Amino acid sequence: MADAPDPHALVSAARDLVRADNPKLAGLWPRAAALLARQGLELAMARLWQGIAPGLEWTSIRCQLLCVGQMLNDRELGGRVSATWNTLSEACHERAYSLPPTAAELRGALETVWEFADAAERLLSTRRGAPLALPYAEC
């Protein structure tokens, strides 16, 4: 059985797509990279909630995004994670007159997802088994 996916591995795969100079991927790589990045972000969030706030992963994505900054004690990163999720979500849904994200936009989003996955891992490693210090009502 294959190992479970890792948020960093998903971001690395997305970065490979952004860097690839393959004519066969023309027009396809931006949305594919956005999808991989969004999956990495959502996986990092799910692991964070499972580790420090079990059950929160079953709430709406909007609720989860509102809680990220509070849980990480970094509201600036939480705001960037929320904005990045919205950008990636828009990029994943092709519409008749929408353009795919540019390589620069994707690089910025990938950096935020990577930073968030790092922050979530750090928090989980320091809080293993520790009770949640913040009541759910605060996030």
**CATH domain 7-124 topology:** Four Helix Bundle (Hemerythrin (Met), subunit A) (1.20.120)
Tokens 């891992």 label which residue? 121
Q: What is the per-residue burial (b if ≥16 Cβ within 10 Å, else e) of 38-72?
A: bbbbbbbbbbbbebbbeebeeeeeeebbebbbebb
Residue 22 or residue 68, greater confidence: 68
**In this predicted structure, which of 12-26, 73-87, 124-138 has the lowest mean pLDDT?**
124-138
Mean pLDDT of 75-88: 97
pLDDT band at 128 (very low <50, low <70, confident <90, very high): low
Cβ neighbour number for residue 129 with a 10 Å cutoff: 5
* pTM (2 d.p.): 0.86
Length of the chain: 139
CB count within 10 Å of CB 135 equals: 7
